Amino acid sequence: MATFPKRTHTCGELRAAHVGKDVTLTGWVQTRRDLGGVIFVDLRDRFGKTQILFAPQVDQAAYEGAKDIRSEYVLSVTGRVAPRPEGTENPELPTGTVDVEVHSLVVLNKAETPPFAIEDDIDVNEDIRLRYRYLDLRRPVMQQNLATRHRGYQITRSYFDRNDFVEVETPILMKSTPEGARDYLVPSRIHHGKFYALPQSPQTYKQILMVSGFDRYFQIVKCFRDEDLRADRQPEFTQIDVEMSFVDEEDVMSTAEGLAADIFKGILGVDVPRPFERMSYREAMNRFGSDKPDTRFGMEIRDCSEVVAGSGFRVFQETVAKGGIVGAICVPGLADSTRNQMDNLTALAKSMGAGGLVYLKVHGDTIECSAEKFLKPEEVKAIAVWAGAVAGDLVLLISGPWNKALTILGGLRLEMAGRLNLIPRDAWNLLWVTDFPLLEYSEEEKRYVAVHHPFTAPHPDDLALLDSAPDKVRARAYDLVLNGNEIAGGSIRIHSTEMQSRMFRLLGIDDESAKLKFGFMLDAFKYGAPPHGGIAFGLDRIMMLLTGSRSIRDVIAFPKTSSAMSLMDDAPSGVDPRQLDELHIRIV
RNA sequence: GGGGUCGUAGCUCAGUUUGGUUAGAGCGCCUGCCUGUCACGCAGGAGGUCGAGGGUUCGAGUCCCUUCGGCCCCGCCA
């Protein structure tokens, strides 16, 4: 049943070659320009914009009707494609050489004036955009972002399909597990007092699929973590989840590189050089102060510990004696920073956890040092030389335990590079970070916790250290880093019941609770688990980077605010008491 | 949990430092004029719970307390 004229073309389609044709367009009114005797309207759909023209000499009724249309009205218009008069073409629009002279106007729906303009460069607060997300998503830039994301899905599915992977859906309602992030819980109506959890990742399921013989699995899957949000972190996010059997690190990394290369080629047209660069966790920390180093610029960290170990400055001396590190970065051209600027930098360092900040202002032949009371001139000079400083540079020194001091220096490095505009915009630096530690000691929990997750296999060369020095054991884990952002992470897994039980014990999970929490997995492993490993990509983050977005909210159709609210539909919200009764839940 | 910052017209903001006439601007919106505009132009007009609640004061957008919300960061995120 035709209730209105259906479109014959999209709003991005018409060209000079269509001149003379009768066409029907449907879309939204971008702008209306009433010149008195003639009315121009830009009609918009997701394919583009076309200027349509209403004039009494074309059609009196359509012209009269056009006087009442307003922004965002929904139209179906039929008319003849006409060339624009010489000199009135619009080179900004692909359709800018033609008009559609409308002889039949159907207003499919009216619209209230939107709270912000439906165009790319709007200056409007994000909460307004989120409240009216349906309008925000009409903006071309948002439509392109979601289209790019769609392209990412297609490339991913095509890539894995070509490589004999099977896409399997795993449950959204699963068992809550104690390790890792906080779970989102879902109460069971049928089983009073019991809860499902939403998956932090399909980790256990995909490993069990390996036991089942699906030796190449992938899934584009929502994951849920009830932790605080960031610009690049949402409580629900999408992973490209991958697991493979009978493989080692090289197989998984090579597979992942293939996908990354396809995505870069398919979305940006960029050929990324393979294989990707690799760097050990230790090297990444030592040089960049981060386990996800941004290698697009220099300003690398220099270890000054040996230079200052014998100095009279007790803070440095004791740090080195205790096995810590005194590290430096050399910031080009900032030797003339004011006292106030240095105070601000010191405050910044302290906010990152530093005890203090020592700095050297390297002038022509003199060096001004904030700790010159404690350091001899030749020591100051030696630091400057070791840090690679030249006249005009500012050297920042941080001392402390290895991880902490380097992390702070890494933070300062990023901050200063951002301020000095040292980060190239058009570079795509992909690299693997490998040889992560398997475990780290948690002061808070007074036990070792898994750096990656408890299913990660220890490095075979380090097995002897598992009991004697657990924090020295390397993991068979790898992270993929793009321009200083972790975009994928994975590992070779433990596939023997014995090793898995041993790992649980190391993590302070006794046999009984291991059986309670992960018994199904330990049982599965008894029945012929193949060696296996995998990786998961953060799809939202990748799309954020590939579209040049500031936040993953710009590549997610309906994101949450930083307090995990959905402003459009006002979730989370209260529920009917009867719903709680059914669940035997009481609010306290 | 902590730190920073913001909240005034539909939108983006000024006004808050030092309390004082009727709270302003740009864009948008409405009306009229205008036949080649495309940020159309011109003329006129409407539009305010100053986030909310309480307090101080003769008087609060402005000062105090409480609270709600946005963004960024630390912790957290196996």
Tell me the CA–C1' distance in angstroms for A447 and B77. Answer: 19
Tell me the CA–C1' distance in angstroms for A22 and B38. Answer: 23
Instruction: Give residue for tokens 């068992």.
Output: A175
Q: Which nucleotide is nearest to A99 (CA to C1')?
A: B36
Instruction: Give residue for tokens 């004791």.
Output: A318
Coil, strand or helix: which one is A129? helix
Quick one: which of A107, A48, A52 has its CA closest to A80? A52
Q: What's the pLDDT at A234?
A: 94
Peptide bond into A572 cis (omega under 30): yes
Q: How far apart are CA A543 and CA A527, in angstroms?
A: 39
Q: What's the pLDDT at A52?
A: 97
Tell me the CA–C1' distance in angstroms for A567 and B28. Answer: 23
Q: What's the pLDDT at A575?
A: 86
Q: What is the DSSP letter of A526?
A: T
Q: Which nucleotide is nearest to A35 (CA to C1')?
A: B34
Instruction: Give residue for tokens 């069990």.
Output: A208
β-pairing verdict for A477-482 and A74-83: unpaired
Q: What's the pLDDT at A105?
A: 97
Which A residues between 111 and 140 have a beta carbon under 7 A from any strand B atom? 113, 115-117, 122-128, 130
Asked if residue A340 keeps its beta carbon closer than 7 A to nucleic acid strand B, the reply is no
Asked if residue A573 keeps its beta carbon closer than 7 A to nucleic acid strand B, the reply is no
Q: What's the pLDDT at A21?
A: 97
Tell me the CA–C1' distance in angstroms for A556 and B73. Answer: 22
Q: Which nucleotide is nearest to A351 (CA to C1')?
A: B74
Per DSSP, the residues of A269-337 read -----SSPEEEEHHHHHHHHSSSS--TTS----EE-HHHHTTSS-HHHHHHHHTT-EEEEEEETT-TT-
Q: How far apart are CA A530 and CA A551, in angstroms?
A: 39
Q: Which nucleotide is nearest to A126 (CA to C1')?
A: B70
Tell me the CA–C1' distance in angstroms for A80 and B40. Answer: 23
Task: Please state, as a whole number, how many other Cβ atoms lie within 10 Å of the Cβ of residue A469.
Answer: 11
Specify the amino acid at residue A121.
D
Q: Under a CB-based contact definition with an 8 Å cutoff, are residues A161 and A182 in contact?
A: no
Asked if residue A450 keeps its beta carbon closer than 7 A to nucleic acid strand B, the reply is yes
Q: Which nucleotide is nearest to A231 (CA to C1')?
A: B72
Q: Which nucleotide is nearest to A562 (CA to C1')?
A: B71
Q: Under a CB-based contact definition with an 8 Å cutoff, are residues A336 and A361 in contact?
A: yes
Which A residues between 479 and 538 have a beta carbon under 7 A from any strand B atom? none
Tell me the CA–C1' distance in angstroms for A124 and B7. Answer: 13
Q: What is the pLDDT along chain A (588 residues), one digit of tens a residue?
A: 678 999 999 999 999 999 999 999 999 999 999 999 999 999 999 999 999 999 999 999 999 999 999 999 999 999 999 999 999 999 999 999 999 999 999 999 999 999 999 999 888 988 899 999 999 999 999 999 999 999 999 999 999 999 999 999 999 999 998 778 999 999 999 999 999 999 999 999 999 999 999 999 999 999 999 999 998 899 999 999 999 999 999 999 999 999 999 999 999 999 999 999 999 999 999 999 999 999 999 999 999 998 888 888 888 998 999 889 999 999 999 998 888 788 888 888 887 888 889 999 999 889 999 988 888 888 999 999 999 999 999 999 999 999 999 999 999 999 898 888 888 888 999 999 999 999 988 877 888 999 999 999 999 999 999 989 998 999 999 999 999 999 999 999 999 999 999 999 999 888 898 998 899 999 999 999 999 999 999 999 999 999 999 899 999 999 999 889 998 988 888 888 899 999 999 887
Asked if residue A37 keeps its beta carbon closer than 7 A to nucleic acid strand B, the reply is yes
Q: Which nucleotide is nearest to A449 (CA to C1')?
A: B78
Asked if residue A452 keeps its beta carbon closer than 7 A to nucleic acid strand B, the reply is yes
Q: How far apart are CA A465 and CA A458, in angstroms?
A: 10
Tell me the CA–C1' distance in angstroms for A63 and B20. Answer: 55
Token pair belonging to A271? 């050929």
Q: What's the pLDDT at A359?
A: 92
Per DSSP, the residues of A397-427 read EEEESHHHHHHHHHHHHHHHHHHTT-S-SS-
Q: Which nucleotide is nearest to A452 (CA to C1')?
A: B78
CA distances from A540 to A153, A248, A536, A556, A564 (A): 11, 27, 12, 7, 16
Asked if residue A562 keeps its beta carbon closer than 7 A to nucleic acid strand B, the reply is yes
Asked if residue A468 keeps its beta carbon closer than 7 A to nucleic acid strand B, the reply is no
3-state secondary structure A68-116: CCCCCCEEEEEEEEEECCCCCCCCCCCCCCEEEEEEEEEEEECCCCCCC
- Write phi, then psi, for A376 (nearest 5 degrees): -75, 155
Q: What's the pLDDT at A363?
A: 93
Nucleotides of B under 7 A from a protein CB: 1, 3, 10-13, 28-30, 33-41, 69-78
β-pairing verdict for A98-109 and A74-83: antiparallel
Which A residues between 235 and 274 have a beta carbon under 7 A from any strand B atom? none
